[in-house]
Structure 1
Amino acid sequence: MKLLTLLPLLASTSLACAGTIKQQDDIRSLPITRNGTTLILNKKPWKAVGANVYWLGLDENVSPRSPDQPYYAPTKATYPTQGRITEIMAVVKAMGGTMIRSHTLGISVGNPLSLWPAPDQTNEAAFAPIDWAVYQARVYGLRLMVPLIDNFDYYHGGKYTFLRWAGFNLTGKESSNPQVQQFYNNKTIVNMVKRYISVLLTHKNPYTNLTYAEDPTIFAIETGNELNGPVWGDMNVPTKWVREIGQHVKGLAPRKLFVDGTYGVNRTHFAVDEVDIFSNHYYPVSIDKLKKDLNTLSTVDKPYFAGEYGWLGNAASADANLTAWFRELEASPKVIGDTFWSLFGHNVPDCDTFVEHSDGFTMQYGNPAHAAQIKLVRQHFVKMSKGLSIADDETLPSVPCPAPTAR
């Protein structure tokens, strides 16, 4: 068993065992609720801090280990191993995180390995890694935020998949075509999306015997990832669509929090009662932009979540920028959390090789090149979630690979 660092895990971030899970089932079975701009767990304020781990349900970064492993070559899609999923849960816990935002736990349409390879055709095999991820999050005492639709035309599908299914022959390269608004306004597409959501939320996880709608491990459902209209940054996501999707989600899962996944804070969505949380993304981190977002939200009694940010910052001043960014997030009573982009681990069962991704924002716990930033992130998570300060020279907790599971 390989260790990512030299010291054992601290008590505050110790890995879960079966006995611990049973003792803490009362907490793990409680929902996260909202009181104005504060999230509540077990009658106490709770912060949503963690990582974006977009690949938990379907990955694009590793080659299959054997000919019988499911693989879709055109998009390099394959299912992550259970070991990779479990290791990430252990890492987020060691970093002081409380949750994970993961696209492919909810966005999975349009290729043979998806939940919906075609309209109204459910691929039950695609639920296996999602079931495991939800279960392992519960094992490690973490919560999950699940987006439903991607604004882009990626391997896991999204807005353009539904458009093509409805007869609009568009790809992500035609994002400025006014017809992309048919995704929000075309009743056939809207109803198709709602049926997909129903399939997702009513699925029963064999590890927990709970549907995704019932399981409080999934604490929040997000309309989508960086949703926009035909003009980049236009925030042209119709209020009517947000309300209809919100009502559908709340009808199936009334105890879930509902997040507006528009790329930017859209004032017109303040009128949507179903929306619990507003958010935005930051590349690079920008305190001015954050302040503008918070000022926009000042007229509504709802909280703010920084859903993505580039942890690398700006060149030589990256660490200073990141530190200042964290202090700003920690100081605002409206900010209920944040998730950096993005976290990867080892190619488990290979514990000697990190999985790589090409966007330049790959964080790997245990990689010496990332140690300084990981310490900053961990200090921020612990400050947000526990109100505690961690010394700069404190050694990072160790995480074994493969990480332990409890069945």
Structure 2
Amino acid sequence: MGEQDFVRKKGSRLFIGEEPYRFAGPNIYWLGLDENVGGIDWPTPFRVINALDTAVMMGANAIRSHTLGVSAGHPKSLMPQLRELNEDAFVKVDFALHEISKRGLRVIIPFVCNWRYYHGGKSTFTEWRGLEDENAFYTDTEVIADFKWYIEQVLNRRNTISGVVYKDDPSIMAWELGNELNSAPAAWVEDICSYIKGIDQNHLVSHGKQFEIDTDKLDIPQLDIMDVHYYPADSGELSADAKVVSGAGKVFIAGEYGWSYGELHAFLKEAELNEDISGTCFWSLFGHDDHGGYVQHYDGFSVHYPGSGLNQDHLNRIQLLRGHAYQIRGRIVPEEEITDAPLLLSAAEGRISFRGVSGGAFYTLEKSTEGPEGPWTTIIERRPANDGGGWKDPLRVKTVKAYYRMKALSLGGEEGPYSEPVESEAF
């Protein structure tokens, strides 16, 4: 990506060069720091790559990711303590941004969160200054200076992998002032927008609250994008909000929406057909676990593509998300192609655990008792659930050494490559 590849604003629309730009994709909030791995830790390279590959397979051309910017107050945060930076944490963000760029994706990155979550929020900044009222985040001069200092460090960070300074990275679509800043005063929004633009003239700036339009911010010149969230997905509200924001000359996006209930089809169709809507990001995508199966997050909105252990309605809704990502860009929905092989983690005593692949809807297990070159016999064919473990060879003979291999298949039956054979000793 070069200078001509930045996402720009013209009126109430987005462009890359002279081409209109509209987007769809997931929120992958945990790319910089995760809470879903038995504690708070950085996601492994596999998990970052697997999630981004899955997003691309779902048709995404953009994502939104909180923890690439919202990261304060934890030992593994970008800023563990006030005005102290964590180089190890920044290297993890470097990696994620580099992988995002390699896939031609764009990312929206918030700087802070309204809520008291593990990745830190506005309360983290106020508590560092001994303030009990977290809304002093918007008024206390020391806290505002601290927040600006943090923003400056992020904007001027040089990626240790690509060598690109964040403020010069075209894969970043926009900086978002914060996630769901419901009570942000207009004066504060204008001040922070101006501060960002004073350092970074390349990127757009976004703002939004949890629900509804923050209408008193629509006349702030330095603000480019208004982000509204929808739980449930409501096409009427979406249309009405887009009209107001577009009429004020701002870009309108639905930065989050719930996909698992409500009138999803009508919501997505409105987004596709309504030119006042520049993009949508569903909440939220999780990929495969390093140790088998999918990473679980029990909020009722976790997408495990193409679906595992879900009812048919949810499986259908996940396919709607994929179709929408192509439709909003005016693209034909392609057939899925499985390019990766599963990783067999263990086959001890004929008990199979494995790590799945992007787009794997079914898995087939084969066995050889003659050697790693075969011949191979199918013992489990097209099992629909990737639980990553609990599979058992139904023909296991204790006294016979065996070898196992697997392949994944897409929903349409497209076969991927075989895994490397794994040996299971006699027992």
TM-score for the superposition, normalised by structure 2: 0.76
Q: Does 1:30 align with 2:1?
A: no
Which secondary structure does the structure 2 equivalent of 1:49 belong to?
Answer: strand
Counterpart selection for 1:219 from 138, 153, 173: 173
Q: Find the counterpart in structure 1 of residue 16 from structure 2.
A: 41
Q: Find the counterpart in structure 1 of residue 142 from structure 2.
A: 188
Q: Which amino acid aligns with 1:57?
A: G
Q: Does 1:305 align with 2:253?
A: yes
Q: Distance in 1 between matches of 2:125 and 2:203?
A: 24
Q: Distance in 1 between matches of 2:12 and 2:142?
A: 35
The unaligned stretches of length 5 or more in structure 2 are: 344-356, 359-427
Q: Find the counterpart in structure 1 of residue 81 from structure 2.
A: 118
Q: Distance in 2 between matches of 1:59 and 1:199?
A: 21
Q: Does 1:80 align with 2:43?
A: yes
Q: Does 1:388 align with 2:331?
A: yes
Q: Find the counterpart in structure 2 of residue 322 from structure 1.
A: 264
On the 8 A contact 1:278/1:305 being kept in 2, the answer is yes
Counterpart selection for 1:241 from 162, 169, 188: 188
Q: Distance in 2 between matches of 1:365 and 1:381?
A: 14
Q: Which amino acid aligns with 1:388?
A: R
Q: Distance in 1 between matches of 2:316 and 2:339?
A: 17
Q: Which amino acid aligns with 2:54?
A: V
Shift of 1:340: 0.2
How many residues were matched structurally?
A: 339
Shift of 1:395: 5.1
Counterpart selection for 1:258 from 192, 195, 205: 205
Superposed counterparts of 1:4-403, under 5 Å: 25=1, 30-63=5-38, 76-169=39-132, 179-229=133-183, 237-263=184-210, 264-314=212-262, 321-348=263-290, 350=291, 352-368=292-308, 369=310, 371-385=315-329, 387-390=330-333, 396-398=336-338, 400=340
Shift of 1:186: 1.1
Q: Which amino acid aligns with 1:203?
A: R
Shift of 1:399: 5.5
Shift of 1:303: 1.7
Q: Which amino acid aligns with 1:251?
A: G
Which secondary structure does the structure 1 equivalent of 2:222 belong to?
Answer: coil
Q: Which amino acid aligns with 2:247?
A: T
On the 8 A contact 1:94/1:399 being kept in 2, the answer is no
Shift of 1:94: 1.1
Q: Which amino acid aligns with 1:245?
A: I
Q: Which amino acid aligns with 1:137?
A: I
Quick check: which has more Rg, 1 or 2?
Answer: 2
Q: Which has the higher contact order (CA 8 A, sep 6+)?
A: 1
Q: Which amino acid aligns with 1:110?
A: G
On the 8 A contact 1:309/1:339 being kept in 2, the answer is yes
Q: Which amino acid aligns with 1:38?
A: R
1:110-164 CA-to-partner distances (Å, cap 9, x unmatched) read 1111111111111111112211110000111101100011000000001110110
On the 8 A contact 1:147/1:261 being kept in 2, the answer is no
Shift of 1:254: 0.7
1:44-87 CA-to-partner distances (Å, cap 9, x unmatched) read 01112110000000000013xxxxxxxxxxxx210000110011
Q: Which amino acid aligns with 1:365?
A: Y
Shift of 1:389: 4.7
Q: Which amino acid aligns with 2:325?
A: F
On the 8 A contact 1:59/1:79 being kept in 2, the answer is yes
TM-score for the superposition, normalised by structure 1: 0.79
1:144-189 CA-to-partner distances (Å, cap 9, x unmatched) read 10001100000000111011012113xxxxxxxxx33311111111
The unaligned stretches of length 5 or more in structure 1 are: 1-24, 64-75, 170-178, 230-236, 315-320
On the 8 A contact 1:37/1:333 being kept in 2, the answer is no
Q: Distance in 2 between matches of 1:161 and 1:261?
A: 20
Which secondary structure does the structure 1 equivalent of 2:241 belong to?
Answer: helix
Q: Distance in 2 between matches of 1:397 and 1:246?
A: 42
Q: Distance in 2 between matches of 1:326 and 1:360?
A: 19
Shift of 1:251: 1.5
Q: Distance in 2 between matches of 1:117 and 1:302?
A: 35
1:209-262 CA-to-partner distances (Å, cap 9, x unmatched) read 011111111110001111123xxxxxxx11111111111111121110110133
Shift of 1:298: 4.9
Q: Distance in 1 between matches of 2:16 and 2:95?
A: 24
Q: Percent identity, aligned pairs only?
A: 35
1:273-330 CA-to-partner distances (Å, cap 9, x unmatched) read 111111111111112322331243253112210010111023xxxxxx2111111111
- Pick the structure with more helix per residue: 1
Alpha carbon RMSD of aligned pairs, Å?
1.9
Shift of 1:374: 2.4
Q: Which amino acid aligns with 2:114?
A: N
Q: Distance in 1 between matches of 2:285 and 2:123?
A: 26
Q: Which amino acid aligns with 2:328?
A: M
Q: Distance in 1 between matches of 2:323 and 2:307?
A: 18
